[in-house]
Amino acid sequence: MDFVAGFLQRQYVVILIGLLLSLPVGAWRYFATPPSYTANATMMIDTRKGALQSLLGETIADGPWIESQIGVLKSQNVAAYVVKQLRLAEDPDFIRSDTGLFDRVFSQEPAKSDADRTAVAVAVLRSQLEIRRVGLSYMINIEFRSANPEQAVKIANAMIDGYIYDQLNAKYQSNRRAGDWLQERLQNLREQAASAERAVIDFKAKNNIVKAGGTLMNDKQLTELAGQLTIARARASDLKLRLERIQAVREAYQQDQPSAAADEEITEAMNNGIITRLRTQYLDLVNREADFSARLGKGHATVVNLRNQIRDLRKSIRDELGRIEETHKSEYEIAKKRQEESEKGLTALVSQSTETNQAQVALFSLESAAQSYRKLYDNFLQQYTESQQQQSYPISDARALSPASVTKTGPKVVQAWTLTIFGGGMLGFGIGALREVLDRGFRTREQVRSVLETNCLGLVPMIANDGSISVAPDWKSTRALATLSRIKSKFARCADRSDRPAKIGSIPTMLRAVFAAPFSPYADAIRAVKVTLDLNERSGKSKVLGLISCLPNEGKSTVAVAISTLIAQSGARVVLVDCDVRNPSLSRALAPDADAGFLDVLAGKVDLADAVWTVPNTRMAFLPIVRNAALPNAIEMLASDAADALFSLLRDKYEYVIVDLAPLVAEVDVHVTSRVIDSYVLVIEWGTTKIDLVKYALQNAPGLQAQIVGAVLNKVDMATVRRYDKYGASYYYGRDRYASAVS
């Protein structure tokens, strides 16, 4: 929402211009458009099916089916029927009724042949026709728009007649084609059904396939034998389980485990009288042995005798179980023999039935084919009868519910002006959006912070350069520094000289704006740079600040003068150094008559004191550059030891050193001064310098980017910036505040 509001605030003038441009166009179109009339007729579609639909299957009268009927109404066949019945191809007014506004202004070549006129009339009729379904019903509303109301009514009614005629003709043709096809198909089906039935009878006779009660004899035998095999398998399995149990009991008695044997004896031999008697004696002896052992001891002769009797009884039980085991083995062998005989008989019967089953599969296929042919023949015979009946008396699927009524529908005032305003608004929005896309310059502080990842120190307003003031130079000397190197000592000795006059040119009004309006946004932006310079920990007591920009004419020299002026106004010692050896615009503005400057001091041709210019009644000094053809290696001189010594002297002599550097497009000029500059301030022309250009320039100078303490947006239109920064600009950079500050 904030973006939309800002967009409207910035581009509302363009949007209003688009609206204003659309108003005369809309008015001309409204008054130049002739009145139009719309005839409305309603038709009902029935859902009864003809012979062809019955043959192909039931058609569901759902939404898609209704839409299909609407498509038939819009078809070229129905339109051609209406054109032919009403002779619309012979009416020149009807053929030209669908031409646009511009087509009516410019003449068109009329159609020459009858076919061409008919095609044009059909196209005109279809273009002015609108057909839609009434709700979810089977009613269809037909609307036709025309400049002639009587003609619109005739065409709307004729559309219903054309649809009915098209449906009757389509049904007649479909029934006729279906009858012809059915007649030929019936003859083929009759022959195919007879052949299939004869094939079934011949196949049964050839393969001796006989059925009793609807089932083959082999199937009955297989069923009975399978039942017998199941019983034999169950009998053999039961005897095998009993035999295994008897063997387990004998094994338990063999290993002297009477408790386990007793458990098995209960389940397997409880009906055997001998085992029951022996078991009773065995239990009695066990109890007696336990009683005598407790009274007489386990080694007593009576106890030993009882143990021998118990052992003999256990052997007797085991022998009896052996006889039972032999009996079960005999029965198991008999049951197993019966099972094997049943399996052999079943295998033989299955082998015998293989051929019969294969023949049965083929028989099923033949019988199915015969039944299918018979059903198809009966079905087609019924359809053929119905098609003959439908062909003799076709029934229409549609009827008219209400005759056409006509109303005036155009031109509509609200619709025309709504479209005009909407079109104008879209034109304005489109142009505004194009301007937003093409605007790739810096507009807000947030753009500086997000794109460059540095602080925006201030917005410097654009001030008209309509006046100047004259400032005379002042002579000022400095003390020599004995601790500097040989070159630095030379500069120090020259700094005490104050006997050469110098003259500073006129200063434009924008350079003295800090004095004229100390509380203006211009002064605030400059003051923000000074505060940042004071807080920069890398600069120490002597602060060296370089002013850079990406391109020329972005105002970095003006900002440099303003910063120096503000510092001098506060009473601090400041020197402004022009280091733009390629285009010393600052020197031409402040000291156009200077005959010696920064390069001459580096070359040792003049003393520092002779090259420095100062402003009277302030502590501001200026070191210009004078282009000298005798010094072609100016860039190399910036990277020399002499430059290091000179800036060291300036650090000691002045509290602030403001350096106006060349633009970043001259990469070498800025790089050679990076070792003597503590920090940089990037000056960006508001709304003009492209974001991509600044990013590209800083990417090619990674070491320089680390020393940038902030950026300044220069030449800001304060009346326009509020459209981009509504939170800060409306209050902090408002017109009232600026006006009061200037006053």
Per-residue pLDDT reduced to its tens digit, 20-38: 888 888 787 767 777 888 9
- Contact in structure between 122 and 179 (CB atoms under 8 Å): no
Above 50 in pLDDT, residue 476?
Answer: no
CA distance 385 to 378: 11
pLDDT at 14: 79
pLDDT at 507 over 60: no
* Ranges 75-79, 351-355, 613-617, most confident: 75-79
Q: How far apart are the C-alpha atoms of 555 and 560, rounded to whole Å?
A: 9
- Number of C-beta neighbours around residue 82 at 10 A: 25
Distances (CA, A) of 326 to 272, 274, 329: 15, 16, 5
| pLDDT over 90 at 257, yes or no | no
Burial code of 588-602, b = ≥16 C-beta within 10 A, e = fewer? bbbbeebebbbbbbb
Q: How confident is the model at residue 355 (pLDDT cuts 50, 70, 90)?
A: low
The pLDDT assigned to 575 comes to 92
Distances (CA, A) of 112 to 41, 115, 315, 595, 687: 33, 9, 131, 90, 62
Q: Strands, E, within 472-616: which ranges?
A: 507-508, 543-549, 574-578, 613-614
- Please write the tens of the pLDDT for every residue from 575-612: 999 998 888 888 888 888 888 888 888 888 888 888 89
Taking 80 as the threshold, does the pLDDT of residue 305 lie above it? Answer: yes
* Predicted structure pTM score: 0.48
* 456 beta partners: 711
SS3 700: coil
Beta-carbon contacts of residue 684 (< 8 Å; ≥ 6 apart): 442, 448, 549, 550, 554, 694, 711, 712, 713, 714
195 pLDDT tier (thresholds 50, 70, 90): confident
Q: Which residues lie below 8 Å from residue 41, measured CB to CB, with a gap of 6+?
A: 141, 142, 156, 157, 159, 160, 400, 402, 403, 404, 405
Residue of 53, 127, 43 whose CA lies nearest to 83? 127
Residue 469: Cβ-neighbour burial (10 angstroms; 0-12, 13-18, 19+): exposed
pLDDT tens digits for range 312-346: 777 787 777 777 777 777 887 888 888 788 778 77
Residues 573 and 657: their CA atoms lie apart, in Å, by: 9
Q: Distance between CA 606 and CA 188 in Å, rounded?
A: 124
- Whether residue 272 is predicted with pLDDT greater than 60 in this model: the reply is yes
Task: Give the model's pLDDT for residue 467.
Answer: 36
Q: Give the Cα separation of 268 and 246 in Å (integer).
A: 7
| Residue type for position 121 | A
Confidence class for position 109, pLDDT limits 50, 70, 90: low
Q: With the CA atoms of 378, 382, 383 and 389 taken in that order, what torsion angle do they form, in degrees rounded to the nearest 10?
A: 160
> How much of the chain, in percent, has pLDDT values that exceed 70?
75
Q: What percent of the chain has pLDDT over 90?
A: 8
> In 3-state terms, what secondary structure has residue 199?
helix
Say if residue 678's pLDDT is above 60: yes
What whole-number distance in Å separates Cα of residue 234 and Cα of residue 245? 17
Asked whether residue 94 carries a pLDDT value surpassing 80, the answer given is yes
Looking at residue 492, its pLDDT comes to 42
- pLDDT tens readout for residues 613-642: 887 767 789 999 887 755 667 778 888 888
Q: Take residue 453 and report the two structure tokens written for it.
A: 């990842």
Residue of higher predicted confidence among 722 and 184: 184
* pLDDT exceeds 80 at position 479: no
Measured CA to CA, the distance from residue 553 to residue 519 in angstroms comes to 26
Q: Calculate the average pLDDT of the chain.
A: 76
Q: Which two tokens stand for residue 275?
A: 């085992």
- Among 50-54, 296-300, 379-383, 548-552, the range with the most confident prediction by mean pLDDT is 548-552
Average pLDDT over residues 74-103: 80
The predicted structure's pLDDT at residue 191: 82
Q: What is the average pLDDT across 563-570?
A: 86
Query: How does DSSP classify residue 90?
Result: G
Question: What is the DSSP-derived secondary structure letter of residue 510?
Answer: G
pLDDT of residue 737: 46
3-state secondary structure of 439: coil
Pairing of strands 574-578, 620-623: parallel
d(C-alpha 629, C-alpha 148), whole Å:
90
Looking at 356-413, which runs of residues are DSSP E strands? 398-410
